[in-house]
C-alpha cells in the first residue's frame, strides 16, 4: 500500500472503534491490499486522489469526516467509505465554505478530539455521540449559493461548526476546551446518547465562555489538567515541586485544593494543610521547581516512584533547584559543613 492508502486504512480502523466501540465487522481493513489492488478499485482510487488534489482536501481530515457520515455497511470497502458521489460533493462544498484547508483540518480535528475524549472516559461516565447523516443535512437556502443550488442539500451542522470554531478563536477560546465542556453538560442533561447537532448548535447547553476564555489563556493550564486541580487553585511561589502528587488518601479531592506551594504543601478551603509527595523527598533542599516553561521536560518521569527517594541530576539542581545552592557540581558542600552528595546520572 502507498502512504495514502495506509492513512485511509488507519483512519477507518480508528474511527470505526471510536464511533462504534469495536473494530469488529470492519472487515476490509484485513484485506486492504486486495481492495486497493483489485482492478475494480484501481481506477476509482486514481480518480479519488485527483479529486482530493483538485479541491485542496487534506486526506486524513477528509477521512475523519467521511467516517462520521458513514453507515456500518460503508465500512466494507474503501471506496464505499470514502468515494461515494454524494459524500464527495458534500465534503467538497464544506471545504469551499471553510475558506481554507486549515479551517477544514480544524473542524475534523475537533470532531476527532471529542470522540477520543469520549472514548477515554470510563463507561459509566460517558454517553456516545452519534452522527445521523440525514440529521446533519439541510436544503440549501438562496442566501447560501446561486439559484441552481436551491433545493439541494448541504452539511448544515458542519457549516455551523465551522462558524462556531471561528467565533471561539476570535474570542480567544480554545475550541477543544469548548466542545469537551459542552459534551460534559450534555452528558448530565440527556439520559440517552447525544446527537452531534446538539453539540454544534448554539443552545441552552453552552458552557461558561468567560471561564473557558480564562482557562485558554492560563499559562498553568497544562499543569492543572495533568495534576487534576481546578482553575481556582493557586501557585503562590510560581512553581510546583517536580513529581508532586497529593497524599494517597486525597486523590479524590483534587478539585478542592486551593493552593500548592513550592515545598509541596497543599491547602483546602478551610485552611487545612497537607504535605504532598515529590521527587527527591529524602532531602528537603532538593526541591526541583516545575513551571509552565519546563513542565514538558519533566512530564514523562513525573509519576516514576523510583525518583521519590533518589537524587536529582546536577543539571536539574543547578537550573531548577532552590535559589540558594548548597552543593556544587562535584557534589561537595559549598560551606564544607554539609555532607557531600552524589548526583543522579541521566
pLDDT for 220: 94
Residue 151 has pLDDT above 60, yes or no: no
Residue 23 has pLDDT above 60, yes or no: no
> Does some domain include residue 345?
no
In this structure, are residues 79 and 40 in contact, taking their beta carbons and an 8 Å threshold?
A: no
- Average pLDDT over the chain reads 87
Give the span between the Cα atoms of 346 and 333, in whole angstroms: 21
Domain of 59 in residue numbering reads as 3-215
Domain shared by 52 and 165, yes or no: yes
pLDDT for 138: 61
Q: Average pLDDT for residues 70-97, to the nearest whole number?
A: 87
pLDDT for 37: 75
Among 47-56, 98-107, 117-126, 155-164, where is mean pLDDT lowest?
A: 117-126
pLDDT in tens, 26-78: 567 777 777 777 766 777 888 899 999 999 999 999 999 999 988 877 887 78
Residue 147 has pLDDT above 70, yes or no: no
> Does some domain include residue 281?
yes
> Does some domain include residue 100?
yes
pLDDT for 145: 43
Half-sphere exposure of 51 (CA within 13 A, CB side): 20
> Does some domain include residue 331?
no
Q: Is 292 exposed, middle or buried (0-12, 13-18, 19+ CB in 10 A)?
A: middle
Residue 161 has pLDDT above 70, yes or no: yes
pLDDT for 172: 94
pLDDT for 143: 38
Residue 171 has pLDDT above 70, yes or no: yes
In this structure, are residues 203 and 160 in contact, taking their beta carbons and an 8 Å threshold?
A: no
Domain boundary among 151, 181, 215: 215
Give the span between the Cα atoms of 42 and 48, in whole angstroms: 10
Domain shared by 51 and 130, yes or no: yes
pLDDT for 9: 87
Domain shared by 236 and 202, yes or no: no
- Give the pLDDT band of residue 301 (cuts 50, 70, 90): very high
Report the DSSP beta bridge partners of residue 259.
234, 267
DSSP single-letter state for residue 154: E
Domain shared by 150 and 253, yes or no: no
Domain shared by 127 and 201, yes or no: yes
Domain boundary among 196, 215, 234: 215
> Does some domain include residue 231?
yes
Domain shared by 151 and 265, yes or no: no
Give the span between the Cα atoms of 291 and 224, in whole angstroms: 11
- Give the pLDDT band of residue 144 (cuts 50, 70, 90): very low
Domain shared by 115 and 159, yes or no: yes
pLDDT in tens, 224-269: 989 999 888 999 999 999 999 999 889 889 989 999 999 999 999 9
pLDDT for 332: 92
Domain shared by 248 and 208, yes or no: no
Domain shared by 18 and 87, yes or no: yes
Domain boundary among 215, 235, 259: 215
Tally of structural domains, the chain: 2
pLDDT for 134: 61
> Does some domain include residue 336?
no
> Does some domain include residue 146?
yes
Domain shared by 192 and 145, yes or no: yes
Task: Write the DSSP assignment of 61-75 as a string of letters.
Answer: HHHHHHHHT--GGGG
Q: Is 127 exposed, middle or buried (0-12, 13-18, 19+ CB in 10 A)?
A: middle
The rounded percent of the chain whose pLDDT value lies above 90 is 60
C-alpha cell of residue 324: 540558594
Domain shared by 157 and 234, yes or no: no
Residue 165 has pLDDT above 70, yes or no: yes
> Does some domain include residue 54?
yes
Residue 334 has pLDDT above 90, yes or no: no
Domain shared by 167 and 88, yes or no: yes
Residue 22 has pLDDT above 80, yes or no: no
Amino acid at each position: 500500500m502507498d502512504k495514502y492508502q495506509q492513512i485511509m486504512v488507519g483512519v477507518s480502523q480508528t474511527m470505526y472503534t471510536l464511533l462504534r466501540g469495536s473494530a469488529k465487522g470492519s472487515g476490509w481493513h484485513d484485506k486492504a491490499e486486495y481492495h486497493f489492488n483489485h482492478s475494480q478499485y484501481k481506477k476509482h482510487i486514481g480518480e479519488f486522489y485527483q479529486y482530493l488534489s483538485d479541491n485542496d482536501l487534506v486526506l486524513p481530515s477528509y477521512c475523519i469526516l467521511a467516517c462520521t457520515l458513514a453507515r456500518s455497511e460503508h465500512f466494507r470497502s474503501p471506496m464505499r467509505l470514502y468515494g461515494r458521489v454524494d459524500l464527495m460533493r458534500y465534503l467538497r462544498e464544506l471545504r469551499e465554505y471553510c475558506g481554507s484547508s486549515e479551517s477544514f483540518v480544524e473542524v475534523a480535528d475537533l470532531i476527532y478530539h471529542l470522540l477520543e475524549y469520549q472514548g477515554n472516559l470510563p463507561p459509566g461516565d460517558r454517553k456516545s455521540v452519534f452522527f445521523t447523516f440525514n440529521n446533519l443535512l439541510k436544503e440549501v437556502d438562496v442566501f447560501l449559493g446561486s439559484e441552481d443550488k436551491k433545493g439541494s442539500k448541504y452539511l448544515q451542522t458542519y457549516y455551523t461548526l465551522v462558524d462556531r470554531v471561528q467565533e471561539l478563536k476570535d474570542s480567544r477560546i480554545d475550541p477543544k476546551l469548548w466542545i469537551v465542556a459542552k459534551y460534559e453538560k450534555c452528558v448530565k442533561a440527556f439520559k440517552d446518547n447525544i446527537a452531534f447537532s446538539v453539540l454544534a448548535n448554539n443552545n441552552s447547553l453552552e458552557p461558561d465562555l468567560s471561564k473557558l476564555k480564562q482557562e485558554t489563556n492560563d499559562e498553568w493550564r497544562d499543569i492543572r489538567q495533568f495534576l487534576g486541580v481546578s482553575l481556582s487553585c493557586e501557585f503562590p511561589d510560581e512553581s510546583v515541586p517536580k513529581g508532586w502528587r497529593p497524599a494517597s488518601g486525597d486523590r479524590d479531592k483534587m478539585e478542592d485544593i486551593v493552593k500548592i506551594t513550592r515545598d509541596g504543601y497543599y491547602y483546602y478551603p478551610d485552611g487545612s494543610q497537607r504535605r504532598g509527595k515529590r521527587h527527591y523527598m529524602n532531602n528537603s533542599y532538593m526541591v526541583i521547581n516545575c513551571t509552565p516553561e519546563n513542565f514538558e521536560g519533566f512530564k514523562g518521569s513525573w509519576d516514576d516512584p523510583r525518583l521519590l527517594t533518589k537524587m536529582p541530576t546536577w543539571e536539574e539542581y543547578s537550573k531548577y533547584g532552590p535559589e540558594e545552592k548548597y552543593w556544587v557540581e562535584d557534589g561537595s558542600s559549598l560551606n564544607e559543613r554539609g555532607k557531600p552528595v552524589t548526583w543522579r546520572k541521566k
